[in-house]
Structure 1
Amino acid sequence: MSFLSARAMTGGYGATDILHGCAIAVERGEIAVIVGPNGAGKSTAMKAIFGMLRLREGEVRLDGEPITALSPQERVRRGMGFVPQVNNVFASMSVAENLEMGAFIREDDYSETMEQVFSLFPILYEKRAQAAGELSGGQRQQVAVGRALMTRPKLLMLDEPTAGVSPIVMDELFDKIIEIARTGISILMVEQNARQALNIADKGYVLVQGRNRYTDTGEALLADPEVRRTFLGG
């Protein structure tokens, strides 16, 4: 069984189902990317996996253990880290305080993890005393990812990590995501910049109306003429 296994996910908001039998799996140290048109259910799938959306059918397992009934907080303790697309930093708090908030579940000395975050994102060390709300969009994303890493996740979930940033910053963030995955952390990411995201993905999922349309390696999806024509702009 995959490290993360979300199977037959069906659910949505109120009486309306957004997901229809959706399945997502991620192996250890793998980068998996969910792409698709607007309204395809990409962020909904992420919320369902993280426990922010109750499923009507289906199950989610992490490292072989069923977690479908667990709250998001309990899933964090099991090894999930989630970075939402918006409102993902405490704007009035300093960079260092934001990172410390990520260690709220820990009872051990987290200074080594903070050093690792500063090593991964050197600009955060330089601006550690500055309010997170004063940073650029790309720097705030680094704070949000860094705070999630402070929980020492086994699976890091990123919802549109490059939304609103420049192409240069996007490339830098993708490089950092690759670096994180190389440490053995699994990555599950929703991304509108589909071509660039699939270029770094070990596995890609194309969702359409809450259903799996295509599943393959990132390389294979980029090479698929139908995927390119329909979802990647040719």
Structure 2
Amino acid sequence: MTGDVAQAAGAAPYLIGEAMRGGYGRGADILHGCTIAVERGEIAVIVGPNGAGKSTAMKAVFGMLDLREGSVRLDGEDITALSPQARVRKGMGFVPQTNNIFASMSVEENLEMGAFIRDDDFHGTMEQVYDLFPILRDKRRQAAGELSGGQRQQVAVGRALMTKPKVLMLDEPTAGVSPIVMDELFDRIIEVARTGLPVLMVEQNARQALEIADKGYVLVQGANAHTGTGAELLADTAVRRSFLGG
């Protein structure tokens, strides 16, 4: 299924940024009517060439730029007018590509910061994060800034999970890490999705991301170019030729 976005019949997606148009401040539009959605327990990935508006689409869903047209709905509720902080309280866990840890704080302090919106006992969630990322348990007293790139990304994802989000949003989680670390991170992301938590992810490593994706969106110049399952997009001749190196 390519060329436009076709929603499954029946209930609306759990999270959807629909027909989004907008840019930063008073600048020109970067998004041109693009639609991004993810269901419970699903991994949806946004791929495309550099400058396609992938991260901008993610930020629009999270409320980091004002939409000139379109809407964002979470579990049926229109949240288009909410700030990013309010969206976190509604259940959005967002991990930006850069500046996503407190480098001078320990791993454990970073995770505790992730629980800032909670007033219940969060230690059970912390144990779940340590079970998901065992290396963080070993390094919990170490400053997060001293960790490897892949370990820092684990801290960032773990901190987002500490909010007990209803949806996890990752902006290029494997940027700058080795292929081995990338595979490990993807394995952990699959584990997270299997718990029922929807995962929406922007990825530069398009082929590898589509291999784990239930749904994929190829953006070109801020608009949907191809949409389908990860397997469908990997098998699509036009997608392979244009975006996956043949």
TM value normalised by structure 2: 0.95
Q: Which amino acid aligns with 2:23?
A: G
- Tell me how far 1:19 sits from its aligned partner: 0.1
Q: Which amino acid aligns with 2:134?
A: P
The question of 1:6 aligning with 2:17 is answered: yes
Aligned to 2:89: 77
In the TM superposition, 1:58-207 aligns within 5 A as: 58-207=70-219
- Tell me how far 1:154 sits from its aligned partner: 1.0
Runs of 4+ more than 4 Å apart: none
Q: Deviations over 1:126-162 (max 9, x none)?
A: 0000000000000000000000000001110000000
Q: Secondary structure at the match of 1:109?
A: coil
Number of corresponding residues: 234
Q: Which amino acid aligns with 1:11?
A: G
Aligned to 1:25: 37
In the TM superposition, 1:36-75 aligns within 5 A as: 36-75=48-87
Q: Distance in 2 between matches of 1:5 and 1:186?
A: 11
Please provide the CA RMSD for this pair: 0.5
Q: Distance in 1 between matches of 2:141 and 2:42?
A: 34
Q: Secondary structure at the match of 2:157?
A: helix
Q: Which amino acid aligns with 2:176?
A: G
- Tell me how far 1:6 sits from its aligned partner: 1.1
Q: Distance in 2 between matches of 1:145 and 1:7?
A: 26
Q: Deviations over 1:170-200 (max 9, x none)?
A: 0000000000000010000000000000000
Q: Distance in 2 between matches of 1:159 and 1:173?
A: 13
Percent sequence identity is 80
Q: Distance in 2 between matches of 1:34 and 1:85?
A: 14
12-21 or 90-99, which moves further after superposition?
12-21
Q: Which amino acid aligns with 2:207?
A: R
Q: Distance in 1 between matches of 2:41 and 2:89?
A: 19
Q: Distance in 1 between matches of 2:36 and 2:134?
A: 33
Q: Secondary structure at the match of 1:82?
A: strand
Q: Deviations over 1:75-134 (max 9, x none)?
A: 011110000001110000000000000000000000000000000000000000000000
Q: Distance in 2 between matches of 1:38 and 1:168?
A: 23
* Unaligned segments of structure 1, at least 5 residues: none
Q: Which amino acid aligns with 2:78?
A: P
* Unaligned segments of structure 2, at least 5 residues: 1-11
Q: Which amino acid aligns with 1:53?
A: L
Q: Which amino acid aligns with 1:227?
A: V
Q: Which amino acid aligns with 2:51?
A: G
Q: Which amino acid aligns with 2:87?
A: R
Q: Distance in 1 between matches of 2:89 and 2:42?
A: 20
- Tell me how far 1:208 sits from its aligned partner: 0.1
